[in-house]
Amino acid sequence: MRTHGILTTLLAFTLGLAMPSFACAGEFERSLERAMENSRAISAARLSLRAALEELPLARQTMNMSTELSVSGASSETSTNDSDFTEANNSSLSVTLKKPLYDGGIADAELLVRQLAVERARTNLDLEEQAVLLDAIDAYVSLVVARDRVALEQANERRLQEYLKATELRINLGEATPTDLAATRAQLARARASLITARTSLANAEETFKLKMDMPLGDLILPVIPADLPGTAGAAGEAALQNNHAHALVYLAERNERRLMDVLVANIRPKLDFSLTGKSTESNIETRVTDEVAANVTLSMPLFPNNTVRARARSRVATHRAAMLNLIDSERNTRLAAENAYRNYDAASQVIDAYSAELEAAILLRDGTNSEVEFGLKTVLDLLDAEQDVVNARVNLLDANRSRVMAAYQLMASVGALSAETLGLAMTGPDPEALEISNPIILTPLPAIDYPE
């Protein structure tokens, strides 16, 4: 048969793409660093942390010393029957120093509340960084896979174009039928449709990458599977309860509600204040100047809690109970999500082995079919189907590799281990602990804000 040379030529276009290579390339790290630098969500979370830190000194304000200065003056004229006028001028200066001796524990309770607010802001920053990193990893991996998919589909289309030319030549030689030609054209049309879809996915992946990373598209390869992942679903669940950022926010919310109850109780406790007042009074009548100094210790306490206090207490109790229920629900959901993330990663790893075995079998089938076609035991249509099976196996393996990489990083995120530090990224952006707020508003009116109708 004269098909031997033709088929040998066609097989030269059979795809030779192997499993994607994995490496922790510097391009991957730079991409994630750029994503964090460009994230406004991270910048906003840093400013929120700075704001929470600035609120800490306010917690001690109930125990701060205060000063009051009072100046007053009065002038009067009095007339008598003989039209004489008598003028009287009085003036006084008073300075009072106040120092709370005991505020019922309000300062200590509010300090704990504001410290919890700082922890919540810090945890929220960690959560935002994790979300940005996971989103950036998805964009990076999607671009790598989209490029490989386009290369795969392009090679497949070229292969089928050569088959179509060969089939047309064989028809002219009387070695093929119109059915063979129709089958080849159908395969080619399907390959072109797949190529169009792959190119669209690539265009979307490139634009997503540019938006998030704001850097040129370089030579990208799949990142390595992160090390030190949990070994079992149970271990993943336990690690998540300890380190998951979203769960930590729910826990801090419950603690905050409990501390707010302490603040409410402290407000109805007795309070002890010390005050020292110096007063000087001057009158032009008899040119008299009077100086007075008074020291007072004041004990104050409500006689009984009013309806407002009772209502606030009931509200705080209800809110705290709701926070406790949310915490219980979060514990279950956090554990479940981490265990599911581990199972997804484990399954994705096993799928890689299955698709690798499929690819090896498909290649053996293709090679065997090629030999049988040469000896006339099978038709070219059988060979087309066998080679398409190889293409499909490569596509499946490509998608499976992407799924495994993403499942690994999602597992890291579920146990709270996904951060710039664990990935070895350089510190980006200002440190919230040392962040300075420029141009504070001091003794100046706030700018007017016009709201649209």
pLDDT tens for residues 431-444? 766 666 555 554 45
> Strands across the sheet with 271-283, in order?
66-79, 85-102, 271-283, 288-300
Residue 143 has pLDDT above 90, yes or no: yes
Percent of the residues in the chain that have a pLDDT greater than 70, as a whole number: 84
Q: Is residue 17 part of a domain?
A: yes
Q: Is residue 257 part of a domain?
A: yes
- Is 185 or 177 the better-scoring residue by pLDDT? 185
pLDDT for res 21: 45
- Is 250 or 105 the better-scoring residue by pLDDT? 250
Q: Which of 290, 339, 235, 269 is nearest to 102 (CA)?
A: 269
pLDDT tens digits, residue range 314-364?
A: 898 899 999 999 999 999 999 999 999 999 999 999 999 999 999 999 999
Q: How many CB atoms lie within 10 A of CB 395?
A: 19
Residues 6 or more apart whose Cβ sits within 8 Å of residue 203: none
Q: What is the mean pLDDT of the chain?
A: 83
Give yes or no for a contact between 240 and 416, defined as CB atoms under 8 angstroms apart.
yes
Q: Region 110-138: what's the mean pLDDT?
A: 93
| Residue 20's pLDDT band (cuts 50, 70, 90) | very low
Q: Is residue 273 part of a domain?
A: yes
Collapsing DSSP to helix, strand or coil, 162 comes out as helix
Percent of the residues in the chain that have a pLDDT greater than 90, as a whole number: 43
The conformation of residue 377, written as its DSSP 8-state character, comes to S
Q: Is residue 445 part of a domain?
A: no
Angle in degrees, CA 275, 292, 290, rounded to 5: 155
Q: Is residue 433 part of a domain?
A: no
CATH of residue 73's domain is 1.20.1600.10
- Is 97 or 71 the better-scoring residue by pLDDT? 97
pLDDT tens digits, residue range 221-236?
A: 889 898 889 999 999 9
What is d(CA 340, CA 105) in angstroms, rounded to the nearest whole number? 45
Residue 17 has pLDDT above 80, yes or no: no
Range of the domain at 272: 3-414
pLDDT for res 153: 93
Q: Is residue 408 part of a domain?
A: yes
CA torsion sign, 254 to 259 to 261 to 263? Answer: negative
What is d(CA 252, CA 125) in angstroms, rounded to the nearest whole number? 14
- Is 174 or 111 the better-scoring residue by pLDDT? 111
Q: Is residue 423 part of a domain?
A: no
| Residue 381's pLDDT band (cuts 50, 70, 90) | confident
Q: Is residue 182 part of a domain?
A: yes
Quote the strand ranges of 199-302, DSSP E: 271-283, 288-300
Residue 19 has pLDDT above 70, yes or no: no
How many domains does the chain fold into? Answer: 1
| Residue 24's pLDDT band (cuts 50, 70, 90) | very low
The conformation of residue 104, written as its DSSP 8-state character, comes to T
What is d(CA 206, CA 143) in angstroms, rounded to the nearest whole number? 6
- Is 245 or 378 the better-scoring residue by pLDDT? 245
Give yes or no for a contact between 230 and 407, defined as CB atoms under 8 angstroms apart.
no
pLDDT for res 23: 44
